[in-house]
Amino acid sequence: GESVGLHLPTLSVQEGDNSIINCAYSNSASDYFIWYKQESGKGPQFIIDIRSNMDKRQGQRVTVLLNKTVKHLSLQIAATQPGDSAVYFCAENNQGGKLIFGQGTELSVKP
């Protein structure tokens, strides 16, 4: 069945280091992927997205990589800051309206 999951439930990094958050998906028909950031007590906040016809997309301090061969998605955060501490979710869409979310990875940034 459809599922999107994350490899690691928690990730702790030093301020200034780069962070890499991973995600595996199982539905090869999915054609659009999004990373969301969720801070405590708030709703998911869009970070970056990527379509299935791309393998890399860059934003401000963030990069998303898509490997369709192994159905893997990653979010790279450069120069991680304390304000990046949050739970990060990947989500997929396969030509429908709903988003299918992964389990979430909690990123903790140490000063």
Partner 1 sequence: EPEVTQTPSHQVTQMGQEVILRCVPISNHLYFYWYRQILGQKVEFLVSFYNNEISEKSEIFDDQFSVERPDGSNFTLKIRSTKLEDSAMYFCASSGQALPYNEQFFGPGTRLTVL
- Choice between 8 and 79, CB closer to partner 1: 8
How far is it, in rounded angstroms, from Cα 27 to Cα 16? 35
Contact positions with partner 1 (CB under 8 A) in 33-72: 34, 36, 41-46, 49, 51
> Minimum distance between the CB of residue 101 and partner 1, rounded to whole angstroms?
4
Q: How far is CA 95 from CA 43, 71, 78, 105, in A?
A: 23, 17, 31, 25
Binding-site size, partner 1 (CB under 8 A):
25
Q: Of 21-29, 58-66, 75-83, 88-96, which segment contacts partner 1 by CB under 8 A?
A: 88-96
Q: Where do contacts with partner 1 occur on this chain (CB under 8 A)?
A: 31-32, 34, 36, 41-46, 49, 51, 89, 91, 93, 95-104
